[in-house]
Amino acid sequence: SQQGEEDPQALSIQEGENATMNCSYKTSINNLQWYRQNSGRGLVHLILIRSNEREKHSGRLRVTLDTSKKSSSLLITASRAADTASYFCATEGTSGSRLTFGEGTQLTVNP
């Protein structure tokens, strides 16, 4: 069953703008992770935020987690054309190491 749901499904912005993607989930989690997928390729891990953390940064990425609302957001600042990809959130439930993925947000950054 799908745990995470990303919003929006698709996002198109200009280079230099910020991109924000949201993820909602249904059940308690150990952590939430964001992955990136270039067209036709495998997924690459971007960042992990644990359930006791509220915000995390990695380079131009900023992730927030609100466990009371069961939601997370991924912010990419100063976007580049190379950021064009699909972005997935994945949740690890409290019962084990299995990740459940959402359907992804397709981000297009126009040069």
Partner 1 sequence: DVKVTQSSRYLVKRTGEKVFLECVQDMDHENMFWYRQDPGLGLRLIYFSYDVKMKEKGDIPEGYSVSREKKERFSLILESASTNQTSMYLCASSFEGTGANTIYFGEGSWLTVV
Contacts of 24 (CB under 8 A, 6+ apart): 4, 5, 7, 69, 70, 71
Question: Of 20 and 30, which CB lies nearer to partner 1 in the complex structure?
Answer: 30
Q: How far is the CB of 111 from partner 1 (least distance, A)?
A: 26
Q: How far is the CB of 95 from partner 1 (least distance, A)?
A: 11
Read off the DSSP letter of residue 81: G
Instruction: Quickly tell me which residue has 């150990």 as its tokens.
Output: 30
First vs last C-alpha separation in the chain = 37
Question: Of 100 and 108, which CB lies nearer to partner 1 in the complex structure?
Answer: 100
Provide the binding-site residues for partner 1, judged by CB under 8 A: 1-2, 30-31, 33, 35, 40-45, 48, 50, 88, 90, 92, 97-104
Q: How far is the CB of 103 from partner 1 (least distance, A)?
A: 4
